[in-house]
Structure 1
Amino acid sequence: MKPLQPDTLICNPNGPPIVASVVINCEALRVWEMVGQFSSFDAFIPALASVEMIGTGVGALRTKTFRDGNCVVEQLNSRDDHAMHMTWTMIYNTLGVARLWAGIRVQAHGVQCAKVSWTIIAEPVDKTQVGFEAFVQDFADSALVNVRKLLGGA
């Protein structure tokens, strides 16, 4: 009998990166304080009912529960407060997403201005699904527009 070997169901997705970005009339560190909190995405995504955390720092898990009842569990892969970026991977969801990797970065764009970029690579469970990339793009765009409204006006 062959010995058991390490295996995993967590795989990086394949596909084109979907990038949402906005420039905000706000200091970069203040923007990072909002979008860089892995445990607090409900602060700028109104569709989220709650975010629950298990652990802290790299390796921590968050469970996002949406107002419509859907659920997503993600693991924090990397985080750098000095460089103002972090990445995470989806490990479970009820949204019909097979795999998802995401990263968010804040960059100073002058003294009192910042650019925030959210990159997502995702695969739908149903490869024939029409409009999946547009849905993901719209979700990320609307979240970042909301960050701009909350921190830097229209």
Structure 2
Amino acid sequence: MQKVKVSGTINAPVEKVWELASNFGELNQIVEGVSDCTIEGNGVGAVRTLTLQDGGKVKEKLESLDKAKRVLKYSILDSPMPIQNYTGTMQVDELEDGRSKFSWSSTFDAADGMEDDMKEALEGLYNLGVKGLQQRFSG
């Protein structure tokens, strides 16, 4: 099982960051590289389809949403990436001075020989999410 985790400080109150990060149907609003996001259903069990800039599509399912702890968990149902058993987690924690910490992590199995490539690709994606949130709240 492989693990990846990225986090960063966002200059905005935890409630505002959580509101945006927990909106399962709008990942394209914070992650450059995701050109479109459509959603079927509401709440836990909803399925989103992400269209990547290269045209690839990833289908993900919302597994849990803990508003009190500000933790969202999802799984990948279908992806062009050579990974299986993927569980992703987004979490927003309150910092002092009205700032927040956004963390994005996952566990997954990668095809043999692809472990490092998949870790690198997912780290890059998660860093785009951190950067997108930082830019969204920089003004």
Name the TM-score, length of structure 1 as normaliser. 0.83
Which residues of 2 match residues 45-124 of structure 1 at below 5 A?
45-124=31-110
For the 8 Å contact 2:93–2:100, the answer to whether it is kept is yes
Structure 2 counterpart of 1:49, one-letter code: S
Aligned residue for 1:56, secondary structure, equals coil
For the 8 Å contact 2:32–2:128, the answer to whether it is kept is no
Percent sequence identity is 20
The separation in 2 between residues aligned to 1:53 and 1:150, in whole angstroms, is 22
Aligned residues: 138
Aligned residue for 1:40, secondary structure, equals helix
Structure with greater helix percent: 2
Aligned residue for 2:48, secondary structure, equals strand
Structure 2 counterpart of 1:42, one-letter code: N
Deviation at 1:146, TM superposition (A): 1.9
Runs (5+) with no aligned partner, structure 2: none
CA deviations over 1:103-133 (Å, ceiling 9, x no partner) = 1110110141000111111222x31125221
Find the counterpart in structure 1 of residue 112 from structure 2: 127
Q: CA RMSD in A?
A: 1.5
* 1:145 aligns to 2:139 (yes or no): no
Structure with greater strand percent: 2
For the 8 Å contact 1:32–1:106, the answer to whether it is kept is yes
Misfit runs of 4+, over 6 Å: none
For the 8 Å contact 1:70–1:95, the answer to whether it is kept is no
Structure 2 counterpart of 1:37, one-letter code: N
Aligned residue for 1:53, secondary structure, equals strand
Runs (5+) with no aligned partner, structure 1: 1-13
Deviation at 1:149, TM superposition (A): 1.5
